[in-house]
Structure formats: structure tokens, C-alpha cells
Copies of this chain bind each other. A is one copy, B any other.
Amino acid sequence: MDFSDFFPVWNDLKETERRLLTSAATELNVFKGAVISDGKDACSGIMLIESGQIRAYTTSPEGKEITLYRLLERDICLFSASCMMNGINFDVTLAAEKDCRVILIPSDAYKHVMSESAPLANFTNEVLASRFSDVMWLIEQIMWKSFDKRLAAFLTEESAIEESDTLHITHEIIGNHLGSPREVVTRMLKYFAAEGLVELARGSIRITDPKRLSALS
């Protein structure tokens, strides 16, 4: 993959700027389950996701979790370089949900180019605005949507990402995505099963009526 696949403004950068970014960049594998970064001091750099899937989440002081958004192929991961963005006063944890192949541009190099390049600064602004939009969507979900709708939406989305009707996921992990206790997830899944929307087995959930599940969400 090419840098221009990630940066629509690539050709608006100066030749020297492009060279600075490409020569600083390294390609690396991040294995499923690896925590990539976990706070506002994260400084490894901007990650361009060539393949794989990254989950961004926040945790409570007691270790409860809620998923903020997911990054997929061709997405840019900004919060692995939180340190270079003034004004970011919160911690986002980033973890690989699948094996990932990423291009890492170190924070120093990126910040250096961004400080002089209006196109890159404006594009970075756009990426930040997209993540902000993801989080605003989440607030609306939490505030205005009942838990059955949120769970139905999560299962539907997960099924689309995995391209499968059968999800190998525990109730606890679903709880971590939705910021809800495991028991609440289990109770609602049992209700979904009783309604014929899903079938539950140990360690997996099969969506038996994707249309109604999606309509519920």
C-alpha cells in the first residue's frame, strides 16, 4: 500500500515533506491482543492500518471498559501519537483485535511536517473530527438508546465485520464493548434467544434472524 492511499493530500505535500515521512516510517506487525498504547502520553506515532483491526476504548478506574470506535484497513490511528496533539487530555487504549500490518510514522517526524504543512495539518484535523464524530455517536447511543437496541446494533455490526452469522465472543467481552456488566448482557441475550433472534451456545452466538435483529437496532 502507498502513503497516498491513506493521505488524500499526499500530492499537496512538498517533496521534502513526503521524503521525511516515508524515510521515518517503518512497517510492522501487531499481533492480535497486543495493547498498542494506553494513554494521553502515547507517543509511538501515527499508524496507518494496512490490514487488521484496532479497538479504541476507555477504562474506568475500576477497570470497566467501553469501546469508543474501531479502526479497520485504510484507517489512520491518531491516538497512538496523542503526545503530539495539544489539547488532548484523555486516555484512549488501543488494542489489536486482529493481527495487524501497520505503517508507523514516528510522532516527531509527523509533528515536524504537520507544524509546517497546512495540508497535512488540515487533513489531521479531519481525521480527529472523524474520531470525534464516532465518540459523539457513542454518546447519543448511550444517552438515548435502550440497551436492547445497542446490543442488537453491536451484534449486527460484529456479524458484518466478521462476515459470519456465528460470533465467537463471550458475554463479558460484549459487556466490555458496551460498557455494561456481563449479567446485563446475558439477560438480554437470553431474551433475544427467546424471541428467536439468536441461538446461544458456549462461547458463541448465532444470529438466526438477522433482519429482525437489524430492525431492532
Contacts and interface: CB of A to CB of B under 8 A. Distances in A.
A212 to B, nearest CB: 22
A129 B179 CA distance: 23
B121 A87 contact: no
Nearest to A139: B139
Interface string A75-108: 0000000000111111000000000000000000
Contact of A58 (B58, B125, B129, B136): B136
Interface in A113-167: 114-118, 121-122, 124-133, 135-140, 142-144
Copy count, this protein chain: 2
Could you say which interface size class chain A belongs to?
A: 35 or more
A147 to B, nearest CB: 13
Contacts of A89: 130, 133, 136-137
Contact of A122 (B62, B115, B138, B144): B115
A61 interface: yes
B87 A143 contact: no
A121 B116 contact: no
B133 A88 contact: yes
B139 A87 contact: no
